[in-house]
Amino acid sequence: MSSESWAHLSNALVYSTIIVLSVALVAFAADFALGTGRRRADQRKQRTVTQASEGASGDTAVTTAAPPELPADERWARVGVSLSTLATVMIVCAVVTRGISAQRPPWGNMYEFTVTAVATLMVIWVAMLPRRPEWRDLGLIVVLFNLLLLGVAVLVLYTESAELVPALKSYWLWIHVTSAIIASSIFTVGSLSSVLYLFAERYERRGSASSPRGVRDAIGARLPSSKQLDTVAYKTIAFAFPLWFFAVVAGAVWAEDAWGRYWGWDPKETWSFVTLVIYAAYLHARATAGWRGRPAAIIAIVGLAAFLFSYFGVNIFFVGFHSYGGV
Amino acid sequence: MPADAINALADQQADGAPPRQPALGFTGGLRWLWRQLTSMRTALILLFLLALAAVPGSVFPQRGASPLRVGEYIQDHPTAGLWLDRLGMFDVYAAPWFAAIYLLLMVSLTGCILPRCFHYARNLRSVPPATPRNLGRMPEHRSFTTSASTAEVLGAAGTALRGARFRLRPSESGAQDSMAAEKGYLHELGNLVFHVSLLVLLVGVAWGSWFGYRGTVVVVEGEGFANTLTQYDDFTPGRGFSTSLLAPFSFTLDSFDATFLAEGPRRGQPDGFTADVTYRETPDSEPKTQRIEVNKPLAVDGAKVFLLGSGYAPVFTVRDGAGDVVYSGAIAALPQDPSFTSNTVVKVPDAQPEQLGFNVTVTPTAPDQVDPATGPRSVFPEMNDPRVYLGAWAGDLGLDGGVPQNVYQLDTSAMEQVGRKDLAVGETWKLPDGRGSITFDGLSQFANIQVAHDPGRWLALLAAVAAIVGISMSLVVRRRRVWVRVTPDGEGRTLVEVAGLAQTEWAMLGDEVDAVLATLPGAPVAEKEHA
Ligand code: HEM
């Protein structure tokens, strides 16, 4: 097959992924509307409670409760997960075929970064589902976010498959970009979880007893508990932080070879620094009395905003060394 | 519960002491100030300020990176530009307020981390705290009864915990009824390594920018460069720079090669640059050869020689009216577009009867036809069909006025145009009226070369790596405690409780507690959970 036909195949796979993800979005929306997220969460909680009480009273019991019954309307979430898995396989194939077409790792311009980031995000999320059932409740927002990213990639960032400028031919680039894509995908999961946290926390604070009023309560009422969302946010961000630090350092090592200075406050460097500092602030906030909960969640969301800006905004608005992105 | 309770504890440790009313008096005031400065809350706010303060540097043009754009900006926005300049917005990362933020952060960091380092060192051999009264309130708790004796259970627990590298609380006098163990001290060590590394990183960065330098120079194929101040076209020294820091190396650019993509959607885009150089580390050392490529600089004596870009340098021979060679050599031309249509100027002050000047446009691959609207435009960046387009002027070049001239511009105010002509390689243009001739001998290439020396970069890299290792350690390792308590039930059996508590929430804690439990005599066999 020629380079061009591989590129066409890759494009077709990206379009198909968009279609499948859109259907998955509908399924997750149905699941969400039926409010199964919170019910699942409640059941998980109940399970831990029974475990604990059995332990406390127990003479001989280290038993673990049998897996709880799943709600009947679980099926929508299952449809969503199946479709998401299919979409994940397709988008990974899209990345691979793009790489075959260009004969290099396919993250050399903004379009390719974005498609690879979507693939990474989907792989991480889908791979965690069997081990962390609560991650399924992020389905709606994760799928929605990925659809938006793919839309921007296809409509705004699309660049034809081609060779790279000489400055990008360095193995440090692959190390730098690969770690940046993985770290940012994980940051994204964490910060999206913090977005949901704000709704869930508000709903719980106002007392779930009082009948829900307004859209925000309606959303909050359908989410897993704020505690679970907070835990997901903390764990993912804590995991991604060293990786992002590493990505920034790898970028500096590359810059030292390419441009003769490891750090020059180029807009892209500046914003990756800003992102790092904001997520450091998040980790600090989690460990500081009076800053846990809402303030920390807001910092995590600001972190995502800074990251998105360093990713899209810098290439679009600023002139700098990194403006090879092909926009 | 307890995640929060423990966090609160961590806060107290971090803040040094629980908040107190400021004591009266000067030292009391200072102490209060210091405590404020080194609190986690201040660190948090300073981190925010740092992020915020870095932003304007990406919004406004910066003197260090693009002084020309700063000038343009101030010209376009006179009032705002003036104020922004006063506020240091065009030099953010060297501005006093930016320095104030990161220095305060570093002071806060030192004040916060040093005591923790001492505390850590002092407690290297500390013992885990005694077993709390009510183990049932711990986040992980198991219990069972067994016929084994209390001593047997505790003995087995001790073996298991020691085997899992827990630190044990030594038994107190009297009959022992419990065992307290703790593990994961590397969490705090990692955290300290991370924060200390940040300080070292700053030192490395400061060291490099103080004693380092950076300069650029245009070197034409076949010509050379010696690392002295006068040879640079542009030079930026650090504040602690002195000329003795210039490594005494020199090199000759033997050949330079730029290749461009000949087909595909990115036709004409650069594909690679290579420069073959012969260099000497000192004037008397053996010459060595090396190939410099993009991303592969030449390292000599602590300095690094990079290829930043390239261009073409036409080679001319000019004879004057008397037939004497008054000019001969290559002159670098500034690229104007991606196809390397380039412009330069040849000034011949020694020509008789009148001085000569030429405006030169170079096309490495000449177009079939020149579009009169745009002038000659190269059709491909490589040297496939080089051609020069000359405009000749005669008269006074104005070089004696004492005002330094732009080498790329001809001051034609006291000159008259002699004619226009384009030449292929080897062709000669005989100027009218016996003014002489110009021969286009060929096209050379030049390399835009940057020399940079940053003595702090190894320290910075080392610190960065240590920081990554430290923070990973601190985020992976969890500090946790495990307790085993035995209570005889008076009927010959023993009630065994096993409990665990982690400093931060930790999903694996339950497994760890189960693992300890499984080694105890008479423990029930746990069903494995299938999630
Ligand atoms: C230079 C900027 C700084 C950065 C990038 C930074 C980053 C971090 C990170 C990523 C963590 C990990 C949090 C975790 O384990 O969950 C952390 C923890 C910590 N930082 Fe910083 N930090 C900085 C400055 C400071 C300062 C100035 C202080 C003291 C006032 C400080 C005190 C602490 C403490 C006490 C912890 C441990 C919290 C815990 O035990 O969970 N840091 N820091």
For chain B, give every domain's residue range. 25-115, 127-184+478-518, 208-310+450-467, 312-445
Rounded to an integer, what is the distance from CA B213 to the centroid of its chain? Answer: 16
ipTM above 0.85, yes or no: no
Above 90 in pLDDT, residue A89? yes
Distance from C-alpha of B450 to C-alpha of B402, rounded to nearest angstrom? 30
Which amino acid does the sequence have at A226?
A: S
Interface test with A, best of B12, B50, B58, B306 (most A CBs within 10 A): B58
Return the pLDDT at B353: 81
Q: Which pair of structure tokens corresponds to residue A87?
A: 């979409």
Which amino acid does the sequence have at B174?
A: G
Sequence-distant (6+) residues with CB within 8 A of B118 are none
Q: Which pair of structure tokens corresponds to residue B156?
A: 């087995």
Averaged pLDDT for residues B114-126: 86
Contact, B93 vs B57, CB < 8 A?
Answer: yes
Instruction: State the burial class of residue A16 (Cβ atoms within 10 Å of its Cβ: 0-12, 13-18, 19+).
Output: middle
A284 touches chain B (CB under 8 A): yes
Q: Which atom of ligand 1 is closest in space to residue B116's alpha carbon?
A: 35
Contact, B88 vs B97, CB < 8 A?
Answer: yes
Test B454 with A262 for CB contact under 8 angstroms. Answer: yes
The 10s digit of each residue's pLDDT in A133-156 is 778 888 888 899 999 989 888 887
Residue nearest atom 26 in ligand 1 by C-alpha distance: B109
Which amino acid does the sequence have at B83?
A: W
As beta bridge partners, residue B526 has: none
Return the pLDDT at A325: 43
Of the spans A216-225, A275-284, B512-521, which averages the highest pLDDT?
Answer: A275-284
Report yes or no on whether pTM surpasses 0.90.
Answer: no
B143 touches chain A (CB under 8 A): yes
Test B58 with A306 for CB contact under 8 angstroms. Answer: no
Above 70 in pLDDT, residue B529? no
Averaged pLDDT for residues A17-28: 90
Task: Provide, as residue numbers in chain B, all residues whose Cβ is less than 8 Å from the Cβ of A266.
Answer: 65
Averaged pLDDT for residues A301-326: 71
Of the spans A182-191, B76-85, B365-374, which averages the highest pLDDT?
Answer: A182-191
Instruction: State the burial class of residue B336 (Cβ atoms within 10 Å of its Cβ: 0-12, 13-18, 19+).
Output: middle
Distance from C-alpha of B30 to C-alpha of B239, rounded to nearest angstrom? 33
Distance from C-alpha of A9 to C-alpha of A23, rounded to nearest angstrom? 21
CA distance A22 to chain B (A): 29
Nearest to A181 by CA among A116, A237, A245, A226: A116
**Residue bearing tokens 């400055």:** A167
Confidence class for position B198, pLDDT limits 50, 70, 90: very high
Mean pLDDT of chain A: 80
**Residue bearing tokens 């932003």:** B55
Above 70 in pLDDT, residue B80? yes
**Residue B306: in which H helix or E strand, if any?**
strand B303-319
Which among A239, A261, A287 is the nearest to B7, CB-wise?
A: A287
The 10s digit of each residue's pLDDT in A170-180 is 777 778 888 99
Distance from C-alpha of B512 to C-alpha of B141, rounded to nearest angstrom? 11
Confidence class for position B125, pLDDT limits 50, 70, 90: confident
**Residue bearing tokens 């460069």:** B225
Contact, B499 vs B140, CB < 8 A?
Answer: yes
Above 90 in pLDDT, residue A101? no
The 10s digit of each residue's pLDDT in B452-497 is 888 888 999 999 999 999 999 988 888 889 999 888 887 888 889 9
Sign of CA dihedral B25, B29, B32, B34: negative
**Residue B106: in which H helix or E strand, if any?**
helix B96-122
Angle at which helices A171-205 and A294-308 cross, to 10°: 150
Return the SS3 of B218. strand
Return the pLDDT at A37: 60
Contact, A146 vs A140, CB < 8 A?
Answer: no
Return the pLDDT at A36: 62
Whether the upstream peptide bond of residue B353 has omega within 30° of 0, thus cis, is: yes
The CATH number for B127-184+478-518, chosen from 1.10.10.10, 3.40.50.880, 3.30.310.80, 3.40.50.2000, is 3.30.310.80
**Residue B275: in which H helix or E strand, if any?**
strand B270-280
Q: Look up residue B375 and give its DSSP letter.
A: B
Q: Look up residue B417 and give its DSSP letter.
A: E
Which among B40, B266, B472 is the nearest to A287, CB-wise?
A: B40
Compute, in angstroms, the gap from residue B14 CA to the centroid of ligand 1: 10
Distance from C-alpha of B402 to C-alpha of B442, rounded to nearest angstrom? 33
Return the SS3 of A163. coil
